[in-house]
A and B are shown apart, each in its own frame.
Chain A
Amino acid sequence: MKLMACPLNGPRNISEFICHGEFHNQPVPENTSDKDWADYVWLADNAAGVVREWWCHTPTNYWFIAERNTMTDEILRTYPSDDLGQSKETRS
């Protein structure tokens, strides 16, 4: 059993969580070209290394941010999305 530390519920079985993919800032629809919008919808960095993602603890429907290493399958850090702070301005 692999554990993930939920910022709300503490360590839980990873089967209780769903990964919702890379953290991206949504572009503003009014001033985004069709191509850029399509890129935002479909493309992924899919990095081999440290990634920053949205995860959800499904029994409590609590959404948060996790940083993990896709090469080693290590979970490095989990925190509430409020803590994204200044880095929120740049796309992960």
Chain B
Amino acid sequence: MVLALLKYGLSRRYPVREEIPRTPDLKKHYDVVIIGGGGHGVSLAYYLATKHGITDIAILEKGYLGGGNTARNTTVIRSNYITSQSIKFYAASMRLYENLANELDYNLMYSRRGQLTLSHSDGVSRALRLRADSGTFLGERNEILDRQQIKELVPSLNLDIEGRPILKGLWHPDAATARHDAVAWGYAIRACDRGVELHQKTQVTGLTLDKNKVTEVQTNRGNVSAGAVVQCVAGHSSVVAGMVGLRLPIRSFPLQAMVTHPVKPFLDPMVSSTALHCYISQSARGELVIGGGSDPYELYNTRSTLDMKESLAASALEMFPFIGDLKILRQWAGITDMTPDYSPVMGRSPLANYWLDAGWGTWGFKSTPASGIYLAQAIAEDRVPEMIRPFRLDRFETFDLVNEMGATAASH
């Protein structure tokens, strides 16, 4: 036994398998260069390879795979938006998520929990009703619950919050959660299986333009040319777009979240309050994930602040007073690229071969499969599919916005 262990430990064949290949040398040219190795970047590469046979792809990641905002979100998958454009898009993403673990043959810890959005005023109740009906009209499952039904669904919830009693709830039974890292790992492994190159610790430092085309991508490991270049850099969209002289309708804010130490499972659905700007769910490990604290001014800094943690904790306590003795286990912030209408900016840029996957604010994780599959189609066919046309950059020139502020802001 001991000898066998020693022999195995010293063997060259240990560890047995590297799922993500080591970063290879950069070639001079790729058909497609994807800037950003987060969920969106690797999802795009995966669908380019599997759906369109494009495998000459380099993903350039300045840090490590999925180490940016993919690692910092609170993993809510849902489609209960308000405009038909958004509902169709996020519903498509939800459907892809449902079968994704099978497709990738990788455990994503996908778990359908349902999401309950709470209203504390008549105005918000009406808005929830509109969201429910908009979704139902497009075939999504949504329901308005009264106080009794809410009590039965989440017995531990305090319905009589002082000054803000819970009046109604929007119940979205198909909402789910999944392991964020696993989504990035699964896509990356299967993309790399097909010949996609993932270049970690490779930072893009500049983009060379010739008239209307990006001719060269400059990195800290040398320069490459590409047929098409796509930026998938949530949290740094404006900075990278600035390298080709583009200004975007984006302002970047930190969003703070935290988890408590693990306790016995008591909370199955994800619960979100519109008035308290707080959402809460219990992870598979039993930790309470508490999020929703958007910083009041723009920053590219993921520090945490006591003010925000206090207000998040206060809101969580209003909903679940008995968690007062729990301790905060860890805290973090991600950078959200907020757009004026709370919808993404994706598709063509004004440049011929430069594509955008930006403005993912607080709705990026749930969009990971859909953004990849539709953007892959756009790039492969050089034609933007109907599904993502509403999110084009030039909608702002025509004031043709896709307003999701009410269905998105702070309540995820």
Residues on A lying within 8 angstroms of B by beta carbon are 1-2, 14-15, 18-19, 21, 34-35, 38-39, 41-48, 51, 70-73
Contacts and interface: CB of A to CB of B under 8 A. Distances in A.
A71 B296 contact: no
24 contacts: A14-B296, A18-B296, A34-B397, A38-B397, A38-B398, A38-B399, A41-B396, A43-B247, A43-B396, A44-B238, A44-B251, A46-B238, A46-B239, A46-B250, A46-B252, A48-B238, A48-B239, A48-B300, A70-B299, A70-B300, A70-B301, A71-B300, A72-B301, A73-B299
B338 to A, nearest CB: 10
B301 A73 contact: yes
A19 B307 contact: no
Contacts of A38: 396-399
Given A18-B296, A43-B249, A46-B252, 18 more contacts: A2-B305, A15-B307, A19-B296, A19-B298, A38-B396, A38-B397, A38-B398, A43-B247, A44-B238, A44-B249, A44-B250, A46-B238, A46-B239, A46-B251, A48-B236, A51-B298, A71-B301, A73-B299
A43 B299 contact: no
Contacts of A21: 251
Nearest to B299: A70
B262 interface: no
Contacts of A43: 247-249, 396
A73 B247 CA distance: 22
A35 B397 contact: yes
A41 B399 CA distance: 10
Nearest to A20: B297
B340 interface: yes
Contacts of A19: 296-298
A45 B399 CA distance: 19
A2 B305 CA distance: 9
Given A15-B307, A21-B251, A48-B236, A42 B299 contact: no
B303 interface: yes
A46 B397 CA distance: 19
A34 B400 CA distance: 14
A34 B233 CA distance: 30
Contacts of A18: 296
Contacts of B301: 70-73
Interface string B303-322: 10101000000000000000
Contact of A45 (B247, B297, B303, B397): B247
B300 A44 contact: no
Give the one of A39, A41, A48 with max B CB within 10 A. Answer: A48
Contacts of B298: 19, 46, 51, 70
Contacts of B236: 48
Nearest to A44: B251
B97 to A, nearest CB: 30
Given A70-B300, A72-B301, A73-B299, A44 B247 contact: yes
A46 B398 CA distance: 22
A44 B238 CA distance: 8
A22 to B, nearest CB: 9
Interface in B246-282: 247-252
Given A34-B397, A48-B239, A42 B296 contact: no
Contacts of A72: 301
Contacts of A70: 252, 298-301
A45 to B, nearest CB: 6
A41 B247 CA distance: 12
Contacts of B397: 34-35, 38-39
A73 B335 CA distance: 13
What 4 pairs between A and B have smallest CB-CB spacing?
A: A46-B238, A19-B297, A42-B249, A43-B247
B318 to A, nearest CB: 19
B312 to A, nearest CB: 15
Contacts of A39: 247, 397
B18 to A, nearest CB: 34
Contacts of A34: 397
A15 B396 CA distance: 31
